[in-house]
Amino acid sequence: MEKKKNTSPIQMNDFKLIWRVISKNWYIPVLIVPIFYLIGYFYVYKLENVYQASVELLKSNDTYYRGSVITDNSFYSTARSYVDNSNEIRIITSYDIMDETVKKLKGQLQVSYYLSGRVRTTEQFTGTPFSVSVDNINPKLYETPFTLKILDYNQYELKYFLNDVEIKKNGTFNEQLIDVDFNLIINREAGFIKGAAEQLSQLNYQIVIHNMPNLVSKFKQALKVVNPDYTNVLVLTMDDIIPERAILILDTLSKVYINKSLNSRFDINERTISYIDKQLDEVSLSLNDVEDTLEIYKQKNNILDLNWEKEDFFQKLASYDGKKSSLKLQIDAINDLEKYIIEDKDPEFLPPNVYLVSDDQFLMNSVKDLYSLQLQINNQLSFAKDINPHVIESRENVKKLKQSMLVYLNNTRKATFKIIENVDNEIAKYVSDIQSIPPKQREMLNISRKVAVNESLYNFLLQQRANTKIAKATIVPDIKVIDSPRNNGVISPDKKKIMSTFSTIGLAIALLIIIVRSLLFTTIQTVEELKEVTGLPIIADLPFQRDVKNEGFVVDESPNSYITEAFRTLRTNLQYVILGSNRKTILITSNGPGEGKTFTTINIGAILAKGGKKVVMIELDLHKPRIQKALQMNADIGISTFMLGGSVLDEIVKPTVIPNLFTILSGPIPPNPSDLVLSEKLKEIIDYAKANFDYVLIDTPPAGMLSDASYLMQYSDINLLVVNTKYATKSSIQMFEKVVTDNIIQNVYLVLNGVKRKRSKYYYSRYGYGYGYGYGYGYGYNKKA
């Protein structure tokens, strides 16, 4: 019955391959991963924690007085609150706001203090035994570390580098240190007492003096402002290695920002009051003049009073005159506002009399919008250029609003003039009626009318001034701190993640090494592995044993060892190969030196001789002959002397200590070994050996290094390639296969030498003998290898 083919994507060989890779390389990740973990631990230890501090501000529209010029519905209280949150964020993060904040904290921020340890240097914001106050300093010394050494309770030493030259200065605490490079004073703090001076002298301090603009830029960059969706809350955060410093900066920044918003509104209020006071002075002066004129006229003409009808004319005429004066004030306000819009003046110089038309809700809302947009542009220009898209957009909005307002102002002015014209008609009518009154009394009515008009205007201005004063008292910040500055804890570095990353990198490197070793440097250890990389038949494997002699006849000296049993198996396999044929010339070579080629030759010869066969070993490795050394035989004569005519064949064939085993040694090493191999006399030696011995063993140079072995294979019946588990790689086996294919070499068999295993697959594994062997040439390999 035909055996069913295994179509599973995962074969047993795959598991064996994985197990081989793990068993050969398990120690690599075991070593590398802990090393990288320790490197990561040391790296993390040197990192400083970065903390985040935050403060929350609420943008509100609180006010307490609603019957004045300055109310929630007026320009003053809403001009700033009208700005959307994105504009508020730009204002808070502006350079000017941070600059004012840093200037307020100059004494605490300009100098940084550090404590130097053996492994790392840490910054100290509080708790230092001294403080530094800087008056002047050479700009080259900004950001330069000064080493400060406390000598005793009164003295200290200051060291720094300037132009790569170390400079030392000694100073006294609480006294100015004046030098060509700086003028500063170092004061003792409360914790610096005499008893602690000796202990503090063992510590190494550093101070760094900062350039104030650099500090402003640094903290401005560290400041982040976020407006949560659908809220009027602004969350200010700052990251710093010193949480106390971040909290201090956020607290001061919030106060500076709130005060700026208040000051702007107070300035507008004061300008309005100043304008009203000026108008009151003018009206009061005019009123006094008219009243004096009236009194003088009465006395001069002996006029006591008017009758009720004339008084009624007078009151109505005075009412229309007052209305006309108010309308003229509105015209003046409209004209001033139009001039302000056309001339494109700074928003801080908005004409105060614009508030006298506050009953026009559309106009007042438009003024609020214009003021807000202009302030927005001013704030944007503090940190952006004219080409900034936000600035361009704001300017377009201002332009559109101005065009709309100019059209509206023009229409309003026309309408107001029309009303004034109607009022003038009414006044003219009453003036015509008054013509019937006697001249003296009529003149007095005119004067009285002027008094009434000025009194009405004066009362109106007094009311507006009172409202403005009351409004000033009700001005409150539209920004409130709802969550005081606080430390949110460490935000970076994520030490666990960093150490995990280092461990992962170590594991990745270990895996990369394993992959490279597996692909390029892994040697073949077992017959199964050898079968996977080559199609050449494997005739035997020779086990590795530790305590076997490095040279000589192992099969004779240790007859019951694993290695001897392996050679017996090799002999049996060779007999199966040559069964029924005349093939008895065996060539033994290797891919490189040190793989056990000569060792295998000697012991194959010995094991065959012990089987009753007459065997001769021909030492044709004329470059570095090893048989003579392994057998401790004299090589005064041999192949080289025979080829040069100095010896005959019978003289160079020598017996060994093993019965039936003979050797033809190389003789003295010739200057041209490869040329001798090509000599015709070599064929005489091999023909002689074939004629007189049952087995002929030819020991050649390594096939992977010299072409001698390939050439000599024409004389052999069987070719054995000895590969050692120490050096046998996939590439070396494939290279030998290419040589075999290119030269069409027949009857090539592999012998795997140095196999490490706990239990051999052969029957001799039952024996508990422990022996070793090994043999190396030294072609191209260092002696240690």
Question: Would you state the pLDDT for residue 499?
Answer: 92
pLDDT tens, 282-326?
Answer: 878 877 887 777 777 766 765 555 554 556 666 777 777 778 877
pLDDT higher for 204 or 458? 204
- Residue 784, pLDDT above cutoff 50: no
Amino acid found at 154:
N
Backbone angles phi, psi at 2, to 5 degrees: -70, 135
Half-sphere exposure of 455 (CA within 13 A, CB side): 11
Nearest CA among 322, 318, 272, 320 for reference residue 464: 272
Which parts of 435-545 fold into alpha helices (H)?
439-474, 495-516, 527-533
pLDDT tens, 557-611?
Answer: 888 888 889 999 999 998 888 877 777 899 999 988 888 899 999 999 999 999 8
Per DSSP, what are the bridge partners of residue 486? 54
- Confidence band of 438 (pLDDT split at 50, 70, 90): low
Helix (H, G, I), strand (E, B) or coil at 162: strand
Answer for the pair 320, 349: CB distance below 8 angstroms, yes or no.
Answer: no
Which residues have a Cβ under 8 Å from the Cβ of 351 and sit 6 or more positions away?
Answer: 333, 336, 337, 339, 340
pLDDT higher for 62 or 711? 711
- Confidence band of 45 (pLDDT split at 50, 70, 90): confident
Mean pLDDT of 626-630: 89
pLDDT higher for 141 or 69? 141
pLDDT higher for 133 or 476? 133
Question: Would you state the pLDDT for residue 575?
Answer: 86
Question: Would you state the pLDDT for residue 176?
Answer: 93
Answer for the pair 150, 193: CB distance below 8 angstroms, yes or no.
Answer: no
Question: Would you state the pLDDT for residue 521?
Answer: 73
Backbone angles phi, psi at 362, to 5 degrees: -65, -45
Mean pLDDT of 440-468: 74
**Mean of the per-residue pLDDT values of the chain:** 81
Question: Would you state the pLDDT for residue 309?
Answer: 52
Mean pLDDT of 701-720: 86
Mean pLDDT of 143-158: 94
Q: Which two tokens stand for residue 506?
A: 């170590």
Helix (H, G, I), strand (E, B) or coil at 90: helix
Question: Would you state the pLDDT for residue 38?
Answer: 93
Dihedral (Cα; 697, 702, 706, 710), 10-degree rounding: 40
Percent of the chain topping pLDDT 70: 84
- Residue 421, pLDDT above cutoff 60: yes
Question: Would you state the pLDDT for residue 402?
Answer: 85
Question: Would you state the pLDDT for residue 455?
Answer: 78
Nearest CA among 144, 168, 137 for reference residue 155: 168
What's the CA gap between 43 and 498, in Å, rounded? 9
- Residue 488, pLDDT above cutoff 50: yes
Question: Would you state the pLDDT for residue 277?
Answer: 83
The answer to whether the peptide bond before residue 673 is cis (omega within 30 degrees of 0) is no
pLDDT higher for 381 or 38? 38
- Residue 68, pLDDT above cutoff 90: no
Question: Would you state the pLDDT for residue 780?
Answer: 32
- Residue 339, pLDDT above cutoff 50: yes
Question: What count of other Cβ atoms lies within 10 Å of the Cβ of residue 461?
Answer: 22
